[in-house]
Structure 1
Amino acid sequence: MNESIMKEEHAVDTHENISFYNISSRNKDFEVKNVNNRDELNENYYHQKAFRNSAGEVLEVNIKKEIEVKEEPINIKVSEIEKKREQIEVKPYQCSQSDKVFSHNSTIINHQRVHSGEKPYQCSIRDKAFSRETILINHQNIHTGEKPYQCNLCDKAFSNNSNLIRHQKTHTGEKPYQCTQCDKAFSLKKYLKIHQKHTHGEKPYQCSQCDKAFSVKRYLIIHQQTHTGERPHQCSQCDKAFSVKTILINHQNLHTGEKPYQCNLCDKAFSNNSNLIKHQRIHTGEKPYQCSQCYKAFYQKSTLIIHQKTHTGEKPYQCTQCDKAFSLKKSLKVHQRTHTGERPHQCSQCDKAFSVKSNLIIHQKTHTGEKLYQCSQCNKAFSRKSNLIIHQKTHTGDKLYQYSQCHKAF
């Protein structure tokens, strides 16, 4: 560290108001940074400074007698002082409402909006507002579709830098956030918080009308409206109404097609935040919903409920035209198409239609020639997994079909 840097470091570190004087003494120039009154410098003035050199030694500089004062104005920009302050990690700006300190005045102004709730940066497309201009710019990229932050390890791009940083952890496999209550670790702090809340979290807010409990009081209030039936938030484009305003906003995104909730680990986007959270469990591997009768766990509560019916054998959805019953309402709906002949899923490249969407997807591969299911023992590939399984029997020698009137199998 050279002498000039040491002197600047001292000045920025100890003094807010800096006056500059060049002092000539015994053929050596020194800068005295803390003199606010030139009259203080006189023949008998004694001044001492201590600096630390590159070897870590403390050096004392004494200036006394025969001092000639020459006042020379020196132009120094505030930004240069701020830059030097950042280099030596001085943080003189203290938040009056918390114990946080900051190196720049602009940073503390942004921080104080956390306490005041002020959001001066308004989105021109939606009714959202933000505390910082950079957050607004990142938000607007969702509307424009702009993704300026490109991953240098794959072809994915993101609307903001923080999402890029999170994504890059999928390449490194880094999971620095460890749960203290189990052996799971996560790449992002928010995934750890979600895990802790759902898996280990305390739920002190108990519903007085049922056995449900919640970790947040707001969730209890929302839940209680399911008992009262109150739905004050009406959609202006259809006849649906909702108990919570945020659910209405998410519903309206279905009309507009807007998907503002972007996954920061892949290119998928969603119309509401809850679907994004459910999707992100695919990346984290988190399965917070555990079956009490076996070891299986699931990403979503609805999937757990479906699974639990395999233990109970419950099939509450009865077909009115035959004796078949189903554990799921949607399974009954699909089955009823065998009676009505309804085929709502139409191929866009030919005149074929299907009662089930999954059959349409399989059919469309005949047009594209896509064959995802590759045999591991030969070079044959198939568009359907069931066809691959049948083919693999030719390698194992298994007989698929047993003739009922004799012992022959084929």
Structure 2
Amino acid sequence: LHTGENLLSCPQCNKKFTSKQRLTVHMRVHSKERPFTCDQCEKRFKSKADLKTHTTLVHTGERPFFCDLCGFSFKNKKTLKGHTVVHTRERRFSCDECGKRFGRLSSLKTHQLIHIGEKKHQCGQCGKAFLHRSGLNQHKLTHSKRSFTCDECGKLLCSKSGFERHKQMHSGDELFYCETCGKACVSLSHLESHEVSHSTDRCHICEYCSKTFKWEVSLRKHIKVSHENKRYQCEQCDKSFTSKANLKTHQNRHTEKQQSVQNEARPSSEQIPLKQLVIRLHRVRV
């Protein structure tokens, strides 16, 4: 425990720290200084720890946090913790309107839209709106010529594989239910994939342009279309980059260096002879 003695205070916001190193890192919040640069995308960070986290999450693809119950892996502890409610069925978040309980705050917020009446997902063909994207996707099949109809319940499905999975739901096998919309899934992996449709989180980050995606397959498709075999080359040093944004960041550094050299080479008023200085100041001929 720290008693408050020998604490170092930030001169700008008075926040206190136990070491000079922590204070130094904190002050970069105010100065916007980012001395640590990623070798792969040239993004800058205020501390080595932030750079290491960025490298692990964006560039290495490591998923070091594993669920003990199903073996799923995650990039950080927060995502793993959110995942565990699938197994525990713990429902800590309660709706004030109807008392229904949820395991995740994001699920509660999505559910509350039912009471608000806000229908954000609108069909581009007929204008009909839905509370959930899953409802909109199901509705869109009514406009499609290629669909499969379930004889048991009349549900429409857009692919044969999805149709086969859906038929399993009527077979009496164990099902996994979405706590947000009640959809039944034939496996835990399908449930987790479905639950992403309710989430606003976009945890898959493009290493080339930092664009984010909900699904890894969407990220892979984006990289293939937007970045594969594309290189943007610097005209000054021939270094190449996979995105225009990274190239622009790199080119700005050339500009900064050139301006610095010009400023150093420019003579100060003390170095200019008095006669020339008078001419410049008064704009008269001598």
TM range (shorter): 0.3 to 0.5
Greater length-normalized contact order (CA 8 Å, ≥ 6 residues apart)? 2
TM-score (norm 2): 0.38
* Structure with greater Cα Rg: 1
Which structure: greater strand fraction?
1
